[in-house]
Every structure is written in structure tokens, then in C-alpha cells.
Structure 1
Amino acid sequence: MPQTSPPTPVVLVTGASSGVGLAAAHELARRGRRLALLARGEEPLRRAAEECRALGAPSVVVLPADVRDDAAVARAVAQVVRLEGSLDGVVSCAGVVAYGRLEELSADLFDAVVQANLLGSANVLRHALPHLRARRRGSVVLVGSMIGHIAVPTMGAYTVSKWGVRALARQALVENRDVPGLHVSYVSLPGIDTPIYRQAAYAGGPAGQPPPVVWSAEKAGGLVAHVLEHPRPVTHGGAFDRVTRLGFVLLPRVFDAWVGPLFGRLASDRSDVMPPTEGNVRRSVPGSNRLDGGHGSGVGSAIRPVSTAVRRGLGRRT
């Protein structure tokens, strides 16, 4: 009898209309995966779906939903299984950012960031894991951040949420060890050139920017897709991530003394002061959703202070 090839895997991607989520969806489309794309804004999602179909995805399901809404997530996962017949993988990318000191950021904005990044990831796992466990196989990737391993000024809500995502990934890994074919992976990403910094909420202050060395969204999406298909419990992106985490753990006093000045110089654009705004934290802002944020590689921002100091020194000598 002729052998039949296994059905093409179905992957649910959250935060799929912008940034890393969109890049991961693009890469999975290139690999010929069937996709279910979830995000809040329907128009950007439909645009992302068309791009994925053009890149090779055999089918794409569009799921306009907010991961903070547990009932909406439950309906979305059920819809994927009903339409595609299975669910084989999950990439949890949905996330938002707010800038402001703990006492400056409103309780509503702080809570909304934690709800989207941490509780939203928990909602997705709550409804996806039963299907994967029933099939006795599958792969889940929770996308975290270097910020989930350290502390930086004015990003308290994001920091707390990403520390929580790291804990959630470990918890899900431990609880699903009884199913050898089910893999839960955590990916910590460095600074990524995405629109999230301009979409962020601000209590008022310098605009945020990705710290060097900055990855493209495509590079980050490629890593996430690779880990989904070649699971490992923890993956860290970039050498700078490792150095920073090491300094935070081994030299806490030095780290705490230097993180403020360095963050202000390398991860903030002091030439662009943002007014108080909610950004896209509480609701989608479809017009700002796209793949990259136009920040470039970040090398220039990293070497600019050094080159400026050199020029000043040379100027004093002449």
C-alpha cells in the first residue's frame, strides 16, 4: 500500500499581526505550516494572513481576540481545532510595553501590561495544552525577554510580566513531563527592532528604543520558529544577553549602579520626549502594526557616546 505523508502541522501564533509574532508567522509559512494567527486587530491580522499565504502557508485561520480575555482565547483555540482538525504547536508572542516609574504608571496600565504578557500567556496555555496532551505530542514556545532576567528603570510592569513568563514556561515544562512527545520551550530575546517601542504606553519621558546589539524581527522570528521545531527548554538569543545576565547575578551592586545610566543612554532616545499616552496597551492601534520599528542595528547608538568622547578629547588637544 502507498505510504501517506503525515498531515501538515497546525501552529497557533499569538501577537501575529506585528513584530516578532508576525516574523515567526512568516517563517513558519515559508516552512509550509498551516497557521492560526491571533491578535487584537482584525485588519492587521488579515494583512498578515495574506502575507503568510503568499509565503507558502497552505491554510491560515484569522482569530481576532485579546489574550487577556480567557473566554475569547478558549473560543479561538476551539475554532482552530474545529476548522483545521488538530493543533500541533503554539507560539506565544503577544506582548505590550509601558514606560514609567512604579509610582508614575497608573494601576490600570501596570495591570494591563501584566495581564497581556503573563496572564495572556497563561490563558493560551490553559486552552491549548489539553489538545496537545490528548494527542500526546506537540510543541509550545513562550517568547520572553532579556528583561525577564534582570531589572531596568522605568519598565517595572514589563519586567515583572517577563519574569513571570519565564516562571510560567518552567511550570508548564514540569507539569507536562509525563507526556514525552509534548515539549515546552522558553526563548529569551535581546533587543529587537519592532514597533513595540513606539506602540508603548508612557507616563511621560524619553522614547524607548531597543538596546544594542539589536536583532531584526526576522532573525528573532527565525529563532522562535527553529525552537518550535527543534525544542529545547531554554534558549537565549545573543551574547550580550548572556553577559548582562551574568553581571546581574554575579555583580549585583555594580549592575544596579550602572544600569540606570546605561539604560538612559543606550535604551532611550532623549531627543524624542513622549507625552503621557496609553499607546496600544489597552486596545489595538492597527495603523502602527508592522514587522520592524525602523531602529536599525543599534550599533550606532552603542558607539555614539564613545565617538563623541573621542571627538571632544581631540578637540581639546587642537
Structure 2
Amino acid sequence: MRVRDSVVVVTGASSGIGRATALCFARKGAAVVLAARREEALEEAARECEKHDGAQTLVVPTDVTDPEAVDALAQRAVERFGRIDVWVNNAAVTAIGPFQEVPLEDIRRVMDVNVMGYVYGARAALPIMREQGHGVLVNVSSVVGVVSQPYNQAYTMSKFAIRGLTSSLRQELKIEGVRGVHVCSVLPATIDTPFFDEAANYSGRKVLAMPPVYPPERVARAIVNMVRMPRRETVVGPMGRQMVMESKMAPGTVENTMGIMFDRKHLSRKEPAPANTGNLYEPSPDSGSVPGGWHGRRRTNVRRTLTAVALVGLVAGVGRRMPLVGGGRGNRRARHVLPVAVGAWKVARVVKKRRSG
């Protein structure tokens, strides 16, 4: 699909991936409809979009857990621009902590935003796309939708559910012979956004961005490319692709690896954090931003990716001595991963030395 002059609706557009995606589409000459709870942040994002020649914007403050508000968002877009070519379901929240300690209402809220928000978006966008005979619905899932995480149950469930929803909708369109309307999913790895600072947290430890951390613009470009050439699914970030691939060959090994990495790299061992609901029920008071201050710049990605690949391989090697959920077959495969990972770790050290020198 042609991106220039297309009409694009982006939820969660006030910060992070959503804001980067809106800017990327505006840069390509699309009209962008920005939706989120923070009107001030949306207005600021719209001004950034309008700096690009020919870019048009529409700001529609929206809580995606309200189906009537999401329907109104779609209608506002059609009233202003006459159609909806692309709808990006992106708004998301999370609640981190031991399963028994995260309040049930917080788990329900995460599912309402991350799953039902996407359901409402799809129900609003797809009838319009069917009628006009074309359109792309992009659902932003996550690598966590393939490889689960501990202490992040609601978010993990939601991202698995989004992939299921996306696949199911594709099947329906195919059975009904609908051509020209595509439903796709994007699976980012760890992205440098304010998401982690805004998480509801019951772990007692500060939430960190688990390395390697990639810039949000990388996801935005992947979404734009998905619109240009729609396909079922794409993973953003080399480390994410590696984990998804290895999860198919040695699921038990990767499951244990992710658990260890989450405990050691996603939750601080030095900084405590009080229990809080983050941005679950009220949006953050700031005006929003694209990056989250986790240094996910392009020039650091090579070193971080190689280091993380080494960590995965080393943990997999250690996993040979650990009882794994996936059974013995994963253990045998881990033996083949270790030499490659050690080599990657050595290369990472050389890259680091050269950059510092």
C-alpha cells in the first residue's frame, strides 16, 4: 500500500512506539490521527508531525478501554479525512510483581487496555476497511507474546492474546474472500521508551529496560514497511528474532533463559521501588516523549546485541546442568549454542574495546 497520502490512526500516540510511529508516517506524507489519554502530549506530538511538509494531523483524546470512545475515534477520522487506510493498535500498560501480590483489578486493567483495547480498535476499523475495499490493521504485540516472562503475567497473557486475535482475524478475512484488507502483527524486543518507568510495580525493585535496548524508531519503520508490504508478522530487534527462533527449537531452554534474564536485568538489584499503580488508571503527568532514556541508540545496538546473544548462549550452556521445563532435547541443543555464544561474547568485547579506545 502507498504510504504517502494515506490516513493512519495510531493509538498510544502520546509517547514511545506510538509517537515514533506517528512521526514516521508524517515524515512519509501521511495524514495522522493521534489517540491516547493525554491531550497535551498528543498536541505536542501533532506539532512535531506537522513540521514535515504536507503532514496533516488530528488529535482525538481516547481511552481505548471505552468502546464508544474508540468508535468515536474512527468516526472522527472518517469525518475529517474520508477514510482510514491504516489503524495501528499500540496502546499498552503493564503491572509487574509476584502473581499473588499483583491486585486482581490491576491484572484486569492490563487485559482491558492491552487486549480489549485492540478488540475495540479492530471492530471500529475493519468495517470501514471492508467497505472501502482496502486497509491495514497493525497490532503491536511483543517478543513476550512468544517467550513468556515471570513477574509480568498480565502483560505476557495480553501479548500472546494479541497474536491469537491477529491470526484469527486473518483467517476470517481469507474465508470470507475479503481482498485488500490485511491484519498484521509486530513483535518488538526491548524498546527505549518511557514504558518501564510508567509500569505498575509490586516487585519491590525498580523496573529497568532489559538489554539489548533498541530505539523506538526501529519499530516505527517496521510498521511503515508492514503497511507498504503487508505480511503476517515481523519481529523487531536481532535479539528478539534470535529468541523467537530458538524458542521453536529449544523452548524449555529459552523459557529458563528469559526467567533468569528478567530477574537479573529487568528488575534492579540495587534500587528499591514502592508499590504503585503506575499509569494503569491515570496517565502520566508529563507531556510525553519518544525515548525513555535507556540509551537505545543505533550506535550501541551492535555491542549490546552481541553481549546479549552471548548471555543467552551462556545461560543455555549452564542450563545443561539445570532441570528445564522443555526436557532433555532442549539440553542437547544447548550444547551447540554455547560455542557460538562464546564467540559472540569475544567479538562484543573487541567492539567495546575499540569504541572506548
TM-score by length of 1: 0.89
1:176 aligns with 2:173: yes
Q: Do residues 118 (structure 1) and 115 (structure 2) align?
A: yes
- Report the Cα offset of residue 117 of structure 1: 0.8
1:288 shift after superposition: 6.3
Structure with bigger RCO (C-alpha 8 Å, 6+ apart): 1
Find 1:60's aligned residue among 43, 51, 57. Answer: 57
C-alpha distance in 1, partners of 2:248/2:182? 28
Instruction: Work out the CA distance in 1 between the residues paired with 2:287 and 2:43.
Output: 15
Candidates 83, 86, 102, aligned match of 2:83: 86
Report the Cα offset of residue 149 of structure 1: 0.5
Amino acid in structure 2 at the alignment position of 1:183: H
Q: Deviations over 1:85-107 (max 9, x none)?
A: 11111111111111112111001
1:73 matched to 2:45? The reply is: no
Residue identity over aligned pairs, in percent, reads 31
**1:65-214 aligned within 5 A:** 65-177=62-174, 178-214=177-213
Q: Please say if 1:32 is aligned against 2:2.
A: no
Q: What do the CA deviations read for 1:22-72 (whole angstroms, capped 9, x no partner)?
A: 000000000010111110111101111111111235321111011111011
Q: CA deviation at 1:246?
A: 3.5
Aligned equivalent of 2:324: none
- Tell me whether 1:51 sits opposite 2:48 in the alignment: yes
CA distance in structure 1 between the aligned counterparts of 2:132 and 2:4, rounded to whole angstroms: 14
**Paired positions, count:** 304
C-alpha contact (below 8 Å) 1:151/1:159 kept by paired residues: yes
> In the alignment, does 2:9 pair up with 1:12?
yes
Unaligned segments of structure 1, at least 5 residues: 311-318
Question: Which 10-residue stretch deviates more, 189-198 or 223-232?
Answer: 223-232
Q: What SS does the corresponding residue of 1:192 show, helix, strand or coil?
A: coil
Deviation at 1:266, TM superposition (A): 2.4
Matches within 5 A, 1:225-236: 225-236=224-235
Deviation at 1:8, TM superposition (A): 2.1
Could you tell me whether the CA contact under 8 Å between 2:10 and 2:90 is conserved in 1?
yes
1:251-272 CA-to-partner distances (Å, cap 9, x unmatched) read 2333344333222222233222
Residue 221 and residue 286 in structure 1: after superposition, are their counterparts in 2 closer, same or farther (change >3 A)? farther
Matched with 2:18 is 21
Contact 1:36 1:80 in 2 (8 A): yes
- Looking at structure 2, the residues matched to 6 and 94 of structure 1 have their Cα atoms a distance apart, in angstroms, of 22
Kept after mapping to 2: 8 A contact 1:41/1:64: yes
The SS at the match of 1:287 is coil
Contact 1:205 1:275 in 2 (8 A): yes
- 1:297-308, aligned counterparts within 5 Å? 297=296, 302=307
- Flag the 1:108–1:12 CA change in 2: closer, same or farther, 3 A: same
Q: 1:37 to 1:206 in 2, by over 3 A?
A: same
Letter in 2 for 1:185: C
1:278, distance to aligned residue in structure 2 (A): 0.5
- Cα–Cα, structure 1 residues 73 and 252, in superposed 2: closer, same or farther, change >3 Å? same
- Take 1:142 and 1:116, find their aligned partners in 2: how far apart are those partners? 13
> What's 2:342 paired with?
none
How far the C-alpha of 1:19 sits from its partner, in A, is 0.2
Q: Which amino acid aligns with 1:94?
A: A
Change (3 A) 1:257 1:226: closer
Q: Which runs of 5 or more structure 2 residues have no equivalent in the other structure? A: 312-344, 350-357
Who is 2:331 aligned against? none
Distance 2:286 2:259 in 1: 32
Q: Give me the whole-angstrom Cα distance separating, in 1, the residues matched to 2:98 and 2:249.
A: 25
Separation in 1, partners of 2:54, 2:162: 29
- Asked whether the equivalents of residues 11 and 18 of structure 2 are also in contact (C-alpha less than 8 Å), the reply is yes
Q: How far apart are 1:21 and its partner, in Å?
A: 0.4
Aligned to 2:261: 262
Of stretches 49-58 and 149-158 in structure 1, the one that deviates more from structure 2 is 49-58
Partner in structure 2 of residue 313 of structure 1: none
Whether contact under 8 Å (1:113, 1:158) holds in the other structure is yes
Question: How many Å apart are 1:6 and its aligned residue?
Answer: 11
RMSD (Å), alpha carbons: 2.4
Contact between 1:17 and 1:48, CA under 8 Å: does it hold in 2? Answer: yes
- Give me the whole-angstrom Cα distance separating, in 2, the residues matched to 1:104 and 1:6: 45
1:57/1:119 CA distance change after superposition, 3 Å: farther
- What is the identity, as a one-letter code, of the residue corresponding to 2:41? P
Q: Which secondary structure does the structure 2 equivalent of 1:170 belong to? A: helix
1:220 equivalent in structure 2: 219
The AA in structure 1 aligned to 2:198 is Q
